[in-house]
């Protein structure tokens, strides 16, 4: 018998398996993991059969102007359990809980033969469009509070965790900047600032050429951003870096107003390669801040690690 319950801490691996197998790729599972890590899930439900996870659904914040609602998805069911009503049970239970929480709307990108069963309709009829280029008929909305939604229209914007393709593109650019820094005689680190697919600024580590142990790629980038960009644009941007930022860089990022960070190589991996000081996971540092900071990573670890091969002496003691 199928049971629907809220996600528990020990469900993460099983939920990842459900998403990876249902979609035949790892992108959706990575989105779920990132939303969970950033405590951005509004609701996460698991469908079980004999105490085994066979389905999963997650809801996360979506904004239309100044109004915040819910985005349904990813939603997944193991292939051998599909077409047995499990997906429908997850959607019904999830939508009911989201409505009870006072959420004004739900949007979804999904099958046109499935979601209208739950009163979803093409969002464009309501004046709502998706931030992604998808056919109008697959982007649907369900209004839960007519009063709150009166006059609400425009582009529905998902959280940054959903932009994994863009994140990987920019992380690769940061890794290439790290290669360039190494070629220039500096430590192999690079960073950039972007909004969506638009790169605003790039920077490299210049510790050796500037003879400055604080000239990390991130600090150089932030300093340039302060000089050249308005504060509201800095706050809307995402900082991409080839390696997890150190404690010094974390402080400079935060006080400058940066609230979204994507990194490649984790500090634990850097410690194995180069040693170094104050290698505290940046999530632990940002967790003590007053404002929430979205952190995504590690990404593309193998590519990021490759830039460092042959650079550091055994158990190096360079400032990084």
Question: Could you tell me if 15 and 36 are in contact, meaning their C-beta atoms sit under 8 angstroms apart?
Answer: no
Helix (H, G, I), strand (E, B) or coil at 128: strand
Q: Which of 196, 192, 187, 186 is nearest to 172 (CA)?
A: 192
Beta bridge mates, 59: 43, 72
Structure tokens at 16: 């990842």
Question: Could you tell me if 78 and 41 are in contact, meaning their C-beta atoms sit under 8 angstroms apart?
Answer: no
- Residue 171 C-alpha from the chain's centroid: 13
Between the alpha carbon of residue 292 and those of residues 9, 30, 182, 257, 282, the distances in Å are 21, 20, 33, 11, 13
Q: Dihedral through CA 93, CA 96, CA 97, CA 99, nearest 10?
A: 160
| Cα 82 from Cα 167, distance rounded (Å) | 31
From the DSSP assignment, how many helices (H) and strands (E) are in the chain? Answer: 11, 14
What is the per-residue DSSP string for 233-270? HHHH-EEEEEE---HHHHHHHHHHT--EEEEEE-HHHH
Which of 28, 161, 218, 269 is an active site residue?
218
Beta bridge mates, 201: 193
- Catalytic, 96? Answer no
Active site residues: 218
């Amino acid at each position: 018998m199928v049971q629907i319950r809220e996600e528990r801490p020990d469900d993460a691996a099983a939920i990842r398996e459900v998403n990876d197998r249902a979609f035949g790729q790892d992108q959706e599972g990575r989105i779920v993991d990132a939303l969970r890590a950033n405590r951005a899930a509004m609701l996460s439900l698991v469908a079980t059969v004999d105490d085994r996870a066979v389905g999963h659904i997650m809801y996360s914040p979506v904004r239309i102007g100044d109004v915040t609602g819910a985005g349904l998805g990813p939603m997944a069911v193991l292939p051998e359990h599909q077409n047995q009503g499990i997906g429908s049970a997850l959607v019904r239970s999830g939508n009911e809980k989201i409505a009870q929480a006072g959420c004004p709307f739900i949007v979804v990108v999904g099958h046109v033969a499935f979601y209208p069963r739950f009163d979803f309709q093409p969002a464009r009829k309501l004046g709502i469009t998706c931030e992604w280029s998808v056919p109008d008929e697959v982007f649907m909305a369900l209004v839960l509070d007519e009063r709150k939604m009166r006059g609400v229209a425009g582009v529905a914007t998902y959280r940054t965790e959903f932009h994994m393709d863009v994140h990987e593109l920019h992380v690769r650019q940061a890794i290439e900047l790290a290669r360039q820094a190494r070629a220039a005689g500096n430590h192999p680190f690079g960073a950039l600032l972007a909004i969506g697919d638009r790169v605003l600024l790039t920077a490299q580590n210049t510790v050796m050429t500037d003879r400055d142990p604080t000239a990390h790629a991130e600090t150089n980038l932030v300093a340039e951003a302060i000089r050249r960009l308005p504060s509201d644009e800095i706050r809307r941007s995402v900082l991409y870096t080839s390696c997890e930022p150190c404690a010094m860089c974390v402080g400079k990022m935060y006080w400058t107003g940066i609230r979204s960070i994507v990194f490649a190589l984790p500090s634990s991996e850097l410690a194995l390669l180069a040693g170094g000081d104050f290698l505290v996971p940046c999530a632990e540092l940002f967790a003590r801040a007053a404002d929430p900071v979205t952190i995504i990573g590690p990404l593309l670890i193998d590519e990021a690690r490759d830039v460092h091969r042959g650079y550091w002496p055994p158990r190096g003691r360079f400032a990084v």
